[in-house]
Chains A and B, each alone.
Chain A
Amino acid sequence: MADITREEVRRVAALARLGLDPAEEERLAGQMVRIVEAMAQLRRVETGEAEPLTHVLAGLGNVTRPDEPRPGTDREALLAAAPDRSGPFLRVPRVIE
């Protein structure tokens, strides 16, 4: 498991849509080997049937509110932060030919 190759780093980076240059891939592969090795000590911990703990909020279930209209953040203010837009739409580079 601790055997993380450059190929592996490239594959995980692609899943995360993370651009890396070749020098970075090389460096990260070396570091990831050591980091994952350090994390792998967990596999030796006796956890038995312990219920995974995803959050610490005691007794808090789903939080809902009445389904009533109310003011939100101004649409124009939100759109103004976009790198590129066309009227009320966000514009992105071509997706399909």
Chain B
Amino acid sequence: MDELYYEPVHRLADLLASGQVSSRELTRLFLDRIQELDGAVGAYLTVTAERALAQAKEEDERRRRGEAAGPLAGVPVAVKDNLCIQGVPTTAASKLLAGYRPPYTATAVERLRRAGAVILGKTNMDEFAMGSSTENSAFRITRNPWDLDRVPGGSSGGSAAAVAAGEAPAALGSDTGGSIRQPAAFCGVVGLKPTYGRVSRYGLIAFASSLDQIGPLTRDVTDAALLLEAIAGHDPADATSAPVPAERWREALTAEVQGVRIGLPREFYGEAVEPQVAGAVRAAVERLVADGAVAEETSLPSAEHALPAYYLIATAEASSNLARYDGVRYGFRAEAADLAAMYLETRKNFGAEVKRRILLGTFALREGYYDAYYRKALQVRRLIKDDFDRLFATYDVLITPTSPVVAFPLGARTEDPLAMYAADICTLPVNLAGLPAVSVPCGFAGGLPVGLQIIGRPFAEDTVLRVAYAIEQRLQLDLRPPLGRVAA
């Protein structure tokens, strides 16, 4: 029973199906694990223990009655705190939403529940998903289970740390510029950002609506496929949700890579990338080439402009999306004598990074500056999309490091916003083009996990998952972090 918290979802689902363990036992096991470890790791903002045990009991009873069980029946899962769950505190790690309990549930969470998943709680994140280290949470620090003095990455740092530490077998996150993939890389787990439109954003607290996408963080690639199957598909409640049905991604997984064409865009292997990181990625690619894949260096020239384009577009959209936190309809309100002062005093409670981004976005959209900044950024976005399209005429996938560096120490980048933004240079271009990409562990540098990113054509999740699976099967890495000193 003890080591079950390091088992992947598909294995737990098998144990549940064969009656070797009940959902209540499993849920209790993870709740105990959270109790034991989370004081040190800090992955959760809210643990919904009672609700989880009630859901687990329901799943057990349903199974005992012989009713059809969903693919995730009885499996505990954690959810990032920017996904609404009716009646459960949902804060996006912001003081502006402290104590907020949404009157409705996000479609992705609803679909997880329908597949039988039990929700353990809400995970920590950078405030409104703005950040790359989870240090922008208004409520707590999350530590990397591989080294408690380092960040877990962000913004889905709580979800990544929870899965890595065995405080949840899987979790949902959201990814606007790398917020699923980069923390997955830092924590040694698998993180999938689906194609824009693949998963409904209904009930996701918006950061930058043309870039945001929900996806899974899991212990292995099979689980990423399994969770995507549960949450993907058209949703009339999200007008940007694509009318494309979910596929049986898990069944399509094969380690066969004969003839797969891999592009290695050199802009993602530049001097900003730590040599050990680039080395681990190249070594993994070599394993595929040895088995019949074809890899060659190529170029995505517009990538060097992705960072400024991304920050102008994301902050412009954010400045508009975050206008709704005005103390009128929900969330926190500061008391003031008149309405104008109430707005100012209420919004004073955003954290420093959120304020910076609202300012930058407002600045870029201002009359007289719009063409020089925002419109220019959208034109560069077009060039990036065109560059990707061109490469995908030749290659099935592109492979890059997920992050140029491994997990950095807590506090190392908090005083320098530009250094923090640079942590996402390999992942941002993918969101600008709306493509699917997965981060899969490919080795270690100085004892810390290294993530490899696989980027595919729109709606080619089958291909990126297959290549990720091929890497995972060949490397067989031990991804249990050395948590001895807190868990012993």
Contact = CB atoms under 8 A, between A and B. Distances in A.
B290 interface: no
Contacts of B348: 18-21
Contact of A56 (B196, B362, B380): B196
Given A53-B378, A92-B342, A16 B358 contact: yes
A19 B328 CA distance: 16
Interface residues of B, number: 70
B103 A74 contact: yes
B390 interface: no
B6 interface: no
A40 B211 CA distance: 21
A60 B358 contact: no
A92 B343 CA distance: 10
A86 interface: no
B196 A41 contact: no
Interface on chain B toward A: helix, strand, loop, or mixed SS? helix
Given A35-B360, A35-B417, A54-B378, A42 B312 contact: yes
Nearest to A62: B239
Interface stretch (B25-33, B163-171, B333-341, B480-488): B333-341
A6 to B, nearest CB: 12
Given A15-B362, A32-B356, A39 B339 contact: no
Given A42-B312, A53-B382, A94-B339, A60 B242 contact: yes
A47 B379 contact: yes
A2 B372 CA distance: 13
Interface string B411-455: 000000110000000000000011000000000000000000000
B474 interface: no
B287 interface: no
Contact of A42 (B104, B196, B308, B358): B308
B372 A34 contact: no
Interface in B318-356: 319, 323, 326-333, 336-348, 350, 352, 355-356
Given A28-B356, A53-B381, A53-B382, A65 B236 contact: yes
A32 B91 CA distance: 27
A19 B208 CA distance: 22
Interface in A54-86: 54-58, 60, 63, 65, 73-74, 77-78, 80-84
A51 B382 contact: yes
B333 A80 contact: no
Contacts of B210: 54-56
A63 B434 CA distance: 19
Given A35-B360, A57-B196, A82 B239 contact: no
Interface in A16-45: 16-21, 24, 28, 31-32, 34-36, 38-43, 45
B235 to A, nearest CB: 11
A80 B103 contact: yes
Given A18-B350, A53-B385, A12 B342 contact: no
Given A18-B350, A20-B348, A55-B210, A42 B380 contact: yes
Given A20-B355, A57-B197, A50 B342 contact: no
B372 A43 contact: yes
Nearest to B354: A18
Given A51-B382, A58-B458, A77-B103, A38 B197 contact: no
A37 B395 CA distance: 35
Contacts of A20: 348, 355
Given A18-B347, A50-B382, A90 B329 contact: yes
A39 B382 contact: no
B240 interface: yes
Contacts of A36: 360, 363
Nearest to A74: B103
Given A18-B359, A47-B380, A56 B319 contact: no
Count chain A CB atoms within 10 A of each CB in B102, B242, B312, B344 and give the residue with the most: B344
A21 B345 CA distance: 10
Given A16-B358, A19-B345, A60-B240, A82 B328 contact: yes
A84 B335 CA distance: 11
Contacts of A39: 308, 311-312, 360, 364, 373
A32 B364 CA distance: 12
Interface string B190-234: 000000110000000000001000000000000000000000000
B114 interface: no
B344 A90 contact: no
B380 A15 contact: no
A56 B434 contact: yes
Contacts of A40: 308
14 contacts: A9-B359, A20-B348, A28-B359, A38-B418, A41-B305, A42-B380, A50-B383, A52-B379, A56-B197, A56-B433, A78-B103, A83-B331, A93-B337, A95-B338
Given A32-B359, A43-B376, A60-B242, 8 more contacts: A36-B360, A47-B380, A47-B383, A52-B382, A54-B378, A77-B103, A81-B102, A83-B331
